[in-house]
Amino acid sequence: MFNDKLKSLRKDHSLSQEDLAEKLAVSRQTISKYELGDATPDLKRLSELAELFNVSYDYLLGDTAKNEEKQALNSVTNKITIKSSDSTTMANYYKFKTGKVFKPKKHQPYGSLIGVNKETFWGESSDVLGYYASKEAINKELEAIFSALSKGASTYELQFNVEVDSRLSIID
């Protein structure tokens, strides 16, 4: 199960619960709850764990094999090409973040999905991939992207985003 795999991976990497908590920006108690099976990480933390330990999401969540094919793909690129739903934008990303629209009005999206495509001396280079009507829609998109990654997919087309105009109003 996830809790046993997390504990094993942490120990294999010679990390204490405190060390891992610091890397994930959570408390040591949170790591303890993960390892006892009393709590499970959200998608962001799951992504950070998979990246930190260089394992697939399938492996973390239950697949007993480390999914060697995906591991080989990740060791080469560790990226997935994301296509916008209108197929006008396409780029490679290795990390995903979410952003919330500050005080959204009635016809504005809840938030956005942001893709990080490279790390530079000045910080991360990122793009807004899409806007979403709800937090649930963002989470569904992330789950679908992580599923595609775990299956070794090289491309993914956004499915749950909404179209917005230049004033960030949702276009019906």
Look at residue 89 in the predicted model and tell me its pLDDT.
Answer: 62
Task: Check whether 16 has a pLDDT greater than 70.
Answer: yes
Q: How confident is the model over 49-101, as pLDDT tens digits?
A: 988 888 877 778 765 444 443 443 343 345 788 887 665 667 788 788 888 88
Sequence-distant (6+) residues with CB within 8 A of 104 are 110
Look at residue 83 in the predicted model and tell me its pLDDT.
Answer: 80
Q: Where are the domains of the chain?
A: 2-73, 79-157
pTM of this structure: 0.53
Q: Is the dihedral of CA 150, 128, 124, 31 positive or negative?
A: negative
- Residue found under tokens 């806007």: 131
Query: What type of residue is 139?
Result: N
Task: Check whether 9 has a pLDDT greater than 80.
Answer: yes
The count of residues in the chain is 172
Look at residue 28 in the predicted model and tell me its pLDDT.
Answer: 94
Of the candidates 68, 65, 62, 31, which has an alpha carbon nearest to the alpha carbon of residue 48?
A: 31
Q: CA 141, 58, 90 angle in degrees (round to 5)?
A: 40
Look at residue 126 in the predicted model and tell me its pLDDT.
Answer: 84
- The per-residue b/e assignment along 2-12, b for 16 or more CB within 10 angstroms, e otherwise, is beebbbebbee
Q: What is the CATH number of domain 2-73?
A: 1.10.260.40
Look at residue 66 in the predicted model and tell me its pLDDT.
Answer: 44
Collapse the DSSP code of 85 into the 3-class scheme (helix H, G, I; strand E, B; otherwise coil) and give the result: coil
Q: How confident is the model over 106-155, as pLDDT tens digits?
A: 889 999 988 888 877 787 888 888 899 998 999 899 888 888 887 878 88
